Amino acid sequence: MLSALVLAPPVLAAIYFGSPYFDFLVIAAAALMLWEWKRMGGFVLKRAHLAAAGILYAVIPCAALLFLRGGAESGRETVFWLFALAWATDIGSYGFGLAIGGPKLAPAISPQKTWAGFFGGVFCAGLIGFAAALILSKSSVAPLILASLLLGVAAQAGDLFESWIKRRFKVKDASNIIPGHGGIHDRVDGLFAIAVAAAAIDLIFIDGFLLWL
């Protein structure tokens, strides 16, 4: 909790003020992710495919965040929304999973994750969509709630993918750079998944789709 309280204000400030502060934050995150990938064993001469995968894994989501923040008129609101979605999904997943327990979501990949946590995280993402629709004075809350629910699922998928990567490298955390949280990989897995999904929607289908929603 202390780590989150220390880290959240500068992150939120960087989102609010945008370039160059947000750019620096994202580039620093990418650099730390590459360092963590090396630490986990992803940069070995005989494993060129793993090195390439690590670079793509860091660069593509970071580029997506920079694109979303600096692109459309709603860039600031979009990135605030995505960060809130990622945080709410993480908190909801942990809280509901701890309180309810029950069947495991994917025991072979992440033994601690439960279906209760999955649905709890998605539910909290929906609440963020509802709140965002009210804050942005949308005529209907349904589109933002639906988009938030779907991105909540994407965040959970990103979390599971990161767990699979760590299991592949036989490590519990990508690093211990953030006390109580592990590494950058461990904190941004869900955020990066929804950032890529949101950037793909914005780039391919709907320019400035938060405004459209």
Q: How many CA atoms lie within 13 A of 196 on its CB side?
A: 16
Integer Cα distance of 118 and 115 in angstroms: 5
Integer Cα distance of 164 and 143 in angstroms: 32
Q: How confident is the model at residue 101 (pLDDT cuts 50, 70, 90)?
A: confident
Question: Would you say 194 and 79 are in contact if contact means Cβ atoms under 8 Å apart?
Answer: no
Total tally of structural domains belonging to the chain? 1
pTM for the model stands at 0.91
Residues of the domain holding 52:
2-212
Question: What's residue 73's pLDDT?
Answer: 66
pLDDT digits (tens, 9 = 90+) for 186-212: 889 999 999 999 999 888 776 666 766
pLDDT digits (tens, 9 = 90+) for 146-179: 999 999 999 999 999 999 998 888 888 888 888 7
Degrees (nearest 5) of the Cα angle 94, 199, 77?
70
pLDDT digits (tens, 9 = 90+) for 21-72: 999 999 999 999 999 998 887 676 567 888 888 899 999 999 999 999 986 6
